[in-house]
Amino acid sequence: MTHRPAGQRPFVWALAALTTVGYGALYYAQPLLALATEHERGWTRAQTNFAFTLALLVTAFTAPAVGRALDARGGRSLLSLGALCAAAAFTLLALTASYPLFVLGWLLAGAAMALTFYEAAFTVLGQQVQGEARTRATLTITLVAGLASTMFVPLTTALLGAWGLQGTLLGLATGLMLVAGLTWAALPPRPARPPAGAPPASFRPDPSFRRLTLAFTLARVVTVGVGLQLAPLLLASGYSAALAAGLTGLLGLAALPGRVAFVPLLTRLGALRLTTGLFMQLAAGTALLLWPQHPPVLVLGIVAFGLASGALTLARAELLARGYPAAVFGAANGRMARPVNLAQALTPFGVGLLLTWTGAYSVSLCLLTALGVAAGLTLLDPAFPRPRCGPGRAVREVRRNEREGAP
């Protein structure tokens, strides 16, 4: 089932291009596009944020169905369709000044996110390669896509200055159509199939899977909550706008070496132990942000948080790939993605409400620290290694593979 490395390159780089453009256009460019839309059409921040929140909810609720469809059909047509849906959404946003159609455009963009973000790409990757080759390919994809904000924030800013809102949306739509063609050309038409006579695989969530899902959902609340509050916290603490922006950028920049370090640490520590440590590091980094008046402590917290956040992207894919057969990876990944993406959609509202009630960032940071610790403790529970029998025996398989030295 593992292809030769030379044959993987177009396939892996196509997935890297798809996720980079998908995240860049559909996620990281959104605040700039929303601001330009508000200025041009006279809408409020509540209106543009409402549409984007609906898009994230669509992504969350469609994730299980997308995962099952990828298991059955493979990714060539579906991922290409996702990029085309994103292009159609941006074209609609460019050509209409109607708010209901604006909302419809972002609903379509939400469906596109489910087909162009990491969950879909990792499912397709797991259908074609396994073991160390899959781990290295996952690292390649996340390192490239990790630069999406670095590339698309200045690109979108430049396009808005040169072409205006409509031209920028149409330009991004063109880029998405190009990546749709690249995806169609590079991806295999069907997923790799198990040998003839092998029993059909099925997916049933078990206690292990539910604990993994809970842990990664709590971690997503922490990463989104800290990401939203860091810049306002620094500004409220007396940092200049330029320094606050630089330190906020350091949070994302630190994710890249975190992903690079994940592979050698995986060999030394094993997937489950490493993931537990990353959750605890995420909590520790959040706790250090409670002292913004001490720059060395603050920078240490930002770097620790960024390293852990970046590595957790690979940890989630690694645990699922080691615990579930490739034939049902999409179903497992999609089922996990629903609560994780719901957390991403709803955390901004919850964090904002908490700040309104308390008037202090320290309260939400303490809560986020506790949630990070809870995520780590979820994997330390004594009952966790003993799920009931069935194909969803994630932790038992992970521990057995690590004892046997499997990659």
For 171-200, what is the mean pLDDT? 81
For 302-323, how does the pLDDT look when each residue is reduced to its tens digit (9 = 90+)? 999 999 999 999 999 999 998 8
Could you tell me the end-to-end alpha-carbon distance of the chain, in angstroms, rounded to an integer? 15
Q: Which residue has the tokens 């640490």?
A: 265
CATH of domain 207-404: 1.20.1250.20
Whether pLDDT at 148 is above 90? yes
CATH number for 5-186 (one of 3.40.50.300, 3.40.50.620, 1.20.1250.20, 1.10.10.10): it is: 1.20.1250.20
Cβ neighbours for 220, distance < 8 A, ≥ 6 positions apart: 340, 341, 343, 344, 347
* Confidence band of 6 (pLDDT split at 50, 70, 90): very low
* Confidence band of 407 (pLDDT split at 50, 70, 90): very low
Whether pLDDT at 260 is above 90? yes
pLDDT at 189: 82
* Confidence band of 245 (pLDDT split at 50, 70, 90): confident
Domain boundaries of the chain, sorted by first residue: 5-186, 207-404
pLDDT at 381: 63
* Confidence band of 393 (pLDDT split at 50, 70, 90): very low
pLDDT at 188: 87
Across 171-180, 193-202, 233-242, which has the greatest mean pLDDT?
Answer: 171-180
pLDDT at 355: 87
The answer to whether 120 and 70 have CB atoms below 8 angstroms apart is: yes
* Confidence band of 201 (pLDDT split at 50, 70, 90): low
pLDDT at 58: 97
pLDDT at 204: 84
For 41-88, how does the pLDDT look when each residue is reduced to its tens digit (9 = 90+)? 999 989 999 999 999 999 999 999 999 999 999 999 999 999 999 999
Whether pLDDT at 158 is above 90? yes
Q: How many CB atoms lie within 10 A of CB 1?
A: 14
pLDDT at 192: 62
pLDDT at 327: 87
Two domains, one topology: 5-186 and 207-404: yes
Mean pLDDT (the chain) is 89
For 176-189, how does the pLDDT look when each residue is reduced to its tens digit (9 = 90+)? 999 999 999 999 88
Across 131-145, 160-174, 381-395, which has the greatest mean pLDDT?
Answer: 160-174
For 202-221, what is the mean pLDDT? 92
Alpha carbon distance 13, 21 (integer Å): 12
Whether pLDDT at 196 is above 70? no
Whether pLDDT at 278 is above 50? yes
For 233-246, what is the mean pLDDT? 90
Whether pLDDT at 265 is above 90? yes
For 101-108, what is the mean pLDDT? 98
Whether pLDDT at 271 is above 50? yes
- What is the pTM for the complete model shown? 0.87
Whether pLDDT at 394 is above 60? no
* Confidence band of 136 (pLDDT split at 50, 70, 90): very high
* Confidence band of 406 (pLDDT split at 50, 70, 90): very low
pLDDT at 221: 97
